[in-house]
Amino acid sequence: MSATRANLADPKLDLVLERVVDVPAELVWLAWTSPEHLKKWFTPAPWKTVDCELDLRPGGQFRTVMQSPEGQQFPTVGCYLEIVPKRKLVWTSALEPGYRPAKRTAVEGLECSELLFTAVITLEPHGKGTKYTATALHRNEADAKKHLELGFHEGWGKALDQLVELAKTM
Amino acid sequence: MSATRANLADPKLDLVLERVVDVPAELVWLAWTSPEHLKKWFTPAPWKTVDCELDLRPGGQFRTVMQSPEGQQFPTVGCYLEIVPKRKLVWTSALEPGYRPAKRTAVEGLECSELLFTAVITLEPHGKGTKYTATALHRNEADAKKHLELGFHEGWGKALDQLVELAKTM
């Protein structure tokens, strides 16, 4: 399933990670939607995801707690928007669960806590593997640049490596 | 259909207009979802809604252009989130169409342009009429207060009067 008209990336505003991975879409989906699995790959090492809650429905909570190598914890919360099993997952940090506009108060010490974006993950079967596309939609060029400089490609890429490695053991 | 857990109003953060109206839910739904009808009731007179685009699907555009008695026009755009025909309609000003986080640049002269809220309209059949509930979800108490002072109850109430009047001619 390719990006629909509603989620077209704008090259000035958005960041896209696209890669063909050699695990089936069903396992990629499971890694994204099962809390036990997500904790194992979601945050590039040496950071960890120490907790998460996935209320997988439009308006439901997508909450994770990342932990730095020093042990400091950073909870983040988002809201799921669209769920197409095994094909598409959309959530945003601009809304809290229940669709309430997000407070966007800064979390001390975490620069990206103020970064608003909507994430669109699409999975397309590709031979025995999957074409994986992760798009981050931003409100303006400044936010896109900030997300790029925070290491979007490295971070999301390394997390995807971890996901693929995990999927091969599933 | 009453508010789901995801859309529960918080008395400190949210504003609610609840009223039983003597027109069936089908007509209230039609008034909310047909552009020709919406233009006739959506903005309390002497203001007018001079244009609108309703792309009625999750992620779709909810765009209206209001016009002041002096002829100044104020376009606003939101994003539909949840659509349950004849029962529930949810959209937000915190996202643009396609779920992109909203820019929230001020529109000159329109105080409420910066007001972020998610609107949840629920319709429940009630005898031959409808129990109509409009809830505005805000990110903080300041926004809720601002929306209240801008005349939430008067504005949404008068618009509902106009909707009911229209529905009786449909």
A117 contacts B6? CB cut-off 8 A: no
What is the value of pTM for the model shown? 0.90
**Min Cα–Cα distance to chain A from B69, Å:** 31
Residue B143 has pLDDT above 70, yes or no: yes
Contact B137 A102 (CB under 8 A): no
> Residue B26 — left, alpha, or beta (φ > 0 → left; ψ -120 to 50 → alpha)?
alpha
pLDDT of residue B52: 96
pLDDT at residue A166, rounded to an integer: 98
Q: What percent of chain A has pLDDT over 70?
A: 89
Contacts of B146 in chain A (CB under 8 A): none
Q: List, for residues B60-101, the tens digit of each pLDDT value.
A: 999 999 999 999 999 999 999 999 999 999 999 999 999 999
Per-residue confidence band for B119, with pLDDT thresholds at 50, 70 and 90: very high
Please give the pLDDT value at position B81: 98
Q: Does domain A10-167 have CATH number 3.30.465.10?
A: no
pLDDT value of position B107 = 44
Mean pLDDT computed over every residue of chain A: 90
For chain A, percent of residues with pLDDT exceeding 90: 86
Whether chain A has a CB inside 8 Å of the CB on B5: the answer is yes
| pLDDT exceeds 50 at position A90 | yes
Give me B60's structure tokens: 């779709």
- Which fold is adopted by the domain B11-167? Alpha-D-Glucose-1,6-Bisphosphate; Chain A, domain 4 (3.30.530)
Sequence spans of domains, chain A: 10-167
Q: Averaged over A56-85, what is the pLDDT?
A: 96
Q: Per-residue DSSP letters for chain A?
A: -PPPGGGPPPTTTEEEEEEEESS-HHHHHHHHH-HHHHHHHSS-TTSEEEEEEE--STT-EEEEEEE-TTS-EEEEEEEEEEEETTTEEEEESSB-GGGPBP--PPPTT-GGGG---EEEEEEEEETTEEEEEEEEE-SSHHHHHHHHHTTHHHHHHHHHHHHHHHHTT-
pLDDT beyond 50 at B120: yes
Chain A residues lying within 8 Å of B118, measured CB to CB:
95, 99-101
- Window 24-53 of B: residues touching A by CB (8 A cutoff) are none
Residue B13, chain A, CB below 8 Å: the answer is yes
Residue of B nearest to A118 (CA): B100
- In DSSP notation, B80-93 reads EEEEETTTEEEEES
In sequence order, what DSSP letters do the residues of B99-124 get, joined into one string? Answer: GPBP--PPPTT-GGGG---EEEEEEE
Q: Do A94 and B117 touch (CB under 8 A)?
A: no
Reported ipTM: 0.88
B103 at A interface, C-beta within 8 A:
yes
- Check if A146 contacts B (Cβ < 8 Å): no
Chain A residues lying within 8 Å of B6, measured CB to CB: 57, 59-60, 97-99
Tokens read off for B23: 């027109």
Which of A60, A94, A138 lies closest to B95 in CB terms? A94
> Residue A8 has what pLDDT?
67
Distance of CA A10 to the CA centre of its chain: 18
pLDDT band at B8 (very low <50, low <70, confident <90, very high): low
What are A99-123's pLDDT values in tens digits? 999 986 544 444 444 689 999 999 9
- Closest Cα in chain B to A120: B99
| Chain A, nearest residue to B98 by Cα | A6
Query: Does the distance separating the beta carbons of B137 and A118 come in below 8 Å?
Result: no
| Residue from the list B82, B96, B99 with its beta carbon closest to the beta carbon of A59 | B82
